[in-house]
Structure 1
Amino acid sequence: MAISELQLPQGVAPHEFPSPPLLADALAEVTVARLRQALEANGQASLVVSGGRSPVMFFQALARQAGFDWSQVTITLADERWVPVGHADSNEGLVKRYLLQGPVSKARFISLYHATHTQAEAAEAADRALAALAGIDVLILGMGDDGHTASLFPQSPGLAEALDEHNPRRCVPMTAPAVPLQRLSMTRALLATARFPVLSIQGAGKLDTLRAALAGGEIAEMPVRAFLKAPLDIYWCP
């Protein structure tokens, strides 16, 4: 099964690559192209990325892009684990190790993690920090085998609030089924403002998950369904 064989909604563009390195390079190129367009139009640009292990190759490819001025670009995360930046599970730590290197280090980074007493307080602090984000020019989402994206997990307490299209919050506390349990996630309302959203996935298993999500059903059962509509580009490799 190839991604081109799936019945995608109108306006959703599939991109298939034979290997992860080729996907990472292509995604890095289109990301920079879109950021450049935003800079030319507005004098500033924003990039929202996802954490976990899958984006590392993309981060490295993005850091290798030459001839691009990152000084007017703001970078932040679609979600974060509520752990200190030095922790092995920190998405911010991952971004700093693999993306904010060389020329990309000139970009402004908005941190979602705050060392507060409670997770709820951390989400409120992240919400305030994200007020400085002037929209989302490029959004790179991933997807879990359960159909979650960002940290919008099925059956998580607070999921209904996070998926509310009219929710004024930018960031909310979420609970994951795997360690670390406590997460922070951008809301659906904020993620949906992205001008160029991308879903980047790898492997046959993720293609099966995508097929199930496209088959229809409640968004709360597979939150990625909220984003499977135009405009969206899907990048996939085996």
Structure 2
Amino acid sequence: MAISELELPTHVTAHDFLGASALAEGLAKAVATRLNAAIDAKGQATLVVSGGRSPVAFFQALIEQPLDWSKVLVTLADERWVPTEHPDSNAGLLKRHLLTGKAAKARFLSLYRAAASLEAAALEADLALAELPAIDVLVLGMGDDGHTASLFPNSPNLTEGLDLQSTRRCLPMLAPSVPHQRLSMTRALLATAGLTVLSVQGPGKLATLRAALQGTELNEMPIRAFLQDPLDIYWCP
């Protein structure tokens, strides 16, 4: 089965690919097209991406796209509360795999703050995000438990994290695995993106999406919140 064979809401668009390299290339072209359109319209573009190993091929393909990186701001939908040099840092991952070569000219806004506590770090990141220009493209991933960004099921701050009326842009979140402490953009901020893409691979993620589509409880599977809005899903086996 492919994503396009699921019973998707009318505002969700499926893009099926045969393999990971084809998905990375197709997604990179679509994202670059949207960023270039934003640069043409307003002189700048903002890209929000997710960390982890899954997007690395997409990052590498995106670097090769025709794009004036000096006019692009890049930031993360979520971050582990570890220094950039830590192997688990999403910022460190971006610096190794995206913000290099031609893309090194991009401006990077980091969520990580070396504050006294996770809560203080989230407040500092929240203030920094007040200066974030309008999000042109948001690329999300999804865990097998239905989390996206660092909006994990049953996390203490999840209800506020999913509240569209929340005034917070960033919240401290807890993951069920190490490292436990995370910083995550809230749904209220993420939902403002001009284009939202969910990039997933493999039959396990297909099964997770199927389960998400069969229920409505957001706290149980936070990805459901993003299936309620216009969304492009990129998938390969």
| TM-score, normalised relative to structure 2 | 0.98
Partner residue of 1:203? Answer: 202
Partner residue of 1:160? Answer: 159
- Give distance in 2, aligned partners of 1:163 and 1:229: 12
SS of the residue corresponding to residue 149 of structure 2 reads coil
The question of whether the paired residues in 2 share the 8 Å contact of 1:115 and 1:122 is answered with: yes
Aligned CA distance change for structure 1 residues 164 and 229 (closer, same or farther; 3 Å): closer
Partner residue of 1:14? Answer: 14
Which consecutive aligned stretches of 4+ in structure 1 deviate over 4 angstroms post-superposition?
none
The question of whether the paired residues in 2 share the 8 Å contact of 1:25 and 1:58 is answered with: yes
SS of the residue corresponding to residue 105 of structure 1 reads helix
1:129 counterpart letter in structure 2: A
- Give distance in 2, aligned partners of 1:77 and 1:143: 14
Partner residue of 1:89? Answer: 88
1:1-238 superposed matches below 5 A:
1-65=1-65, 67-238=66-237
- Give distance in 1, aligned partners of 2:108 and 2:26: 23
- Give distance in 2, aligned partners of 1:21 and 1:203: 13
- Give distance in 1, aligned partners of 2:136 and 2:108: 15
- Give distance in 2, aligned partners of 1:60 and 1:72: 19
Identity of aligned residues (%): 65
2:4 counterpart letter in structure 1: S
- Give distance in 2, aligned partners of 1:50 and 1:62: 14
2:5 counterpart letter in structure 1: E
SS of the residue corresponding to residue 228 of structure 1 reads helix
1:226 counterpart letter in structure 2: A
- Give distance in 2, aligned partners of 1:108 and 1:132: 13
The question of whether the paired residues in 2 share the 8 Å contact of 1:9 and 1:230 is answered with: no
Cα deviation, 1:179-198, whole Å, max 9, x if unaligned, reads: 00000000000000011000
Cα deviation, 1:137-165, whole Å, max 9, x if unaligned, reads: 00000000000000000010111111111
- Give distance in 1, aligned partners of 2:208 and 2:230: 20
The question of whether the paired residues in 2 share the 8 Å contact of 1:49 and 1:76 is answered with: yes
| TM-score, normalised relative to structure 1 | 0.98
1:121 counterpart letter in structure 2: A
Measured after TM superposition, the shift of residue 63 of structure 1 is: 1.2
Aligned-residue Cα RMSD (Å) equals: 0.8
